């Protein structure tokens, strides 16, 4: 069973994907970490994440980098968004993600193009979103030293980059269920996600 969870930054997709993986006993991959790893690799090399060749070179990294706390930093998010615009980078990471999805028993993957590009034949697809104001509020709670206004501006800019890129833009798959978490608690959002996945599985 393959479950695809897509959505913009701070929508709650990662939390929901991890909960779904635990509920169904499946391995989970936050595919955004792969792009964050590329971005951090490029930055540490002193290269330019907006240059296709530099970004592609950053795709060569050890799996151990995925456990580096730097990948969860605020710096890594924009870097990931910048390198992910390059088709060469997306192609280099494509099979790595598909191999994870197609392991025996299946998996849960979250990102921005899982249901549209990585595994378009996933058994269940969710597109998790929330209002910009709510996403900024959530991120501000994690980063109290910043202002909500600056965080909202950063998220809006990232949304524009992710939705506007030519290679695998952020968008809801035609057969994905929409889950708006703006007014939902974590528990309620997870229960709604499980209900949506169960409904999809029952209808197959």
Euclidean distance between CA atoms 129 and 152, whole angstroms: 15
What's the mean pLDDT when you consider all of the chain?
95
Would the pTM count as exceeding 0.85? yes
- Give the count of beta carbons closer than 10 Å to the beta carbon of residue 72: 12
The encoded tokens of residue 97 equal: 């993600």
State the Rg of the chain over Cα: 16
Residue 108 pLDDT: 98
The encoded tokens of residue 10 equal: 């701070």
* pLDDT tens column, 151-202: 999 999 989 988 998 888 899 999 999 999 999 999 999 999 999 999 999 9
Percent of the chain at pLDDT exceeding 70: 100
* pLDDT tens column, 43-55: 999 999 999 999 9
Q: Where are the beta strands (DSSP E) in the chain?
A: 2-6, 28-30, 107-111, 124-129, 177-180
Euclidean distance between CA atoms 117 and 55, whole angstroms: 20
The single-letter DSSP state of residue 105 is T
Q: Please calculate the CA angle 4-5-10 and round it to the nearest 5 degrees.
A: 160
Please choose, from the candidates 35, 171, 152, 164, the residue with its C-alpha nearest in 3D space to the C-alpha of residue 112: 171
Q: pLDDT class for 83, splitting at 50, 70, 90?
A: very high
Backbone φ/ψ region at 34: left (φ over 0), alpha (ψ -120 to 50), beta: alpha
In the chain the first and final C-alpha atoms are separated, in Å, by 12
Question: Where do the domains of the chain lie, and which CATH numbers do they carry?
Answer: 2-191 (3.40.50.300)
* pLDDT tens column, 26-43: 999 999 999 999 999 999
Residue 65 pLDDT: 96
Using the structure block, give the residue that is written with the tokens 């964050």: 36
């Amino acid at each position: 069973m393959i479950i695809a969870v897509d959505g913009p930054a701070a929508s709650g997709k990662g939390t929901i994907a991890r909960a779904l993986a635990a509920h169904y006993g499946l391995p989970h991959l936050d595919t955004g970490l792969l792009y964050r790893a590329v971005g951090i690799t490029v930055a540490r090399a002193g290269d330019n994440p907006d240059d296709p060749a530099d970004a592609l070179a950053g795709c060569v990294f050890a799996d151990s980098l995925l456990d580096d706390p730097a990948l969860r930093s605020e710096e890594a998010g924009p870097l990931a968004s910048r390198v992910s615009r390059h088709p060469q980078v997306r192609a280099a990471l494509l099979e790595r993600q598909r191999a994870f999805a197609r392991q025996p028993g299946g998996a849960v993957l979250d990102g921005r193009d899982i249901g549209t590009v990585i595994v378009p034949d996933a058994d269940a697809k969710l597109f998790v979103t929330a209002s910009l104001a709510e996403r900024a509020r959530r991120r501000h709670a994690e980063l109290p030293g910043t202002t909500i206004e600056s965080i909202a501006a950063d998220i809006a800019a990232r949304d524009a980059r992710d939705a506007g890129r030519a290679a695998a833009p952020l968008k809801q798959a035609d057969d994905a269920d929409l889950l708006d978490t703006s007014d939902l608690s974590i528990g309620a959002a997870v229960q709604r996600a499980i209900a949506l996945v169960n409904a999809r599985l029952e209808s197959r």
